[in-house]
């Protein structure tokens, strides 16, 4: 599922941890206490970090929440192109997750 999600055009900005200089995200680590990205989630899956499905879901939700929190805080925009990509990626994730016939808890 995660491999399919990473192929989404909406996922390109969420593949690896934010680098404030590279990604033009000043004060990122002052605003976001717990950064998360798809690469980190994949690494955690591969290393059996998650003991429950909810832990996995929490990290996925954190990706979407961090994007909204940062861009709302910095730009006062909750509708920037990155926020739109995050929302679309969340919908992609929901769709893929539901295809597994597992009850979905992310709001």
Domain holding 56, by residue range, is 2-99
Instruction: Report if residue 105 sits inside a domain.
Output: no
The closest of 69, 85, 66 to 77, measured between CA atoms, is: 69
Terminal Cα-to-Cα distance of the chain (whole angstroms) = 19
The closest of 12, 24, 104 to 63, measured between CA atoms, is: 12
Give the model's pLDDT for residue 105. Answer: 56
Give the model's pLDDT for residue 104. Answer: 52
Instruction: Report if residue 16 sits inside a domain.
Output: yes
The closest of 104, 82, 107, 81 to 1, measured between CA atoms, is: 104
- Please state, in angstroms and rounded to a whole number, the distance separating the CA atoms of residues 83 and 85: 5
The closest of 94, 43, 41, 85 to 67, measured between CA atoms, is: 85
Which CATH number belongs to the domain containing residue 84 in this structure?
1.20.920.10
Instruction: Report if residue 47 sits inside a domain.
Output: yes
Average pLDDT, the chain: 89
Instruction: Report if residue 104 sits inside a domain.
Output: no
* Predicted confidence band of residue 46 (pLDDT cuts 50, 70, 90): very high
Domain count for the chain, please give it. Answer: 1
């Amino acid at each position: 599922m995660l491999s399919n999600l990473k192929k989404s055009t909406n996922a390109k900005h969420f593949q690896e941890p934010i680098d404030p200089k590279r990604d033009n995200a000043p004060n990122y680590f002052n605003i976001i206490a717990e950064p998360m990205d798809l690469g980190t989630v994949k690494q955690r899956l591969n290393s059996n970090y998650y003991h429950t499905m909810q832990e996995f879901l929490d990290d996925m939700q954190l990706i979407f929440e961090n994007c909204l929190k940062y861009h709302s805080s910095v730009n006062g925009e909750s509708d920037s192109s990155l926020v739109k990509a995050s929302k679309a990626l969340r919908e992609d994730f929901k769709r893929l997750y539901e295809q597994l016939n597992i009850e979905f808890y992310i709001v």
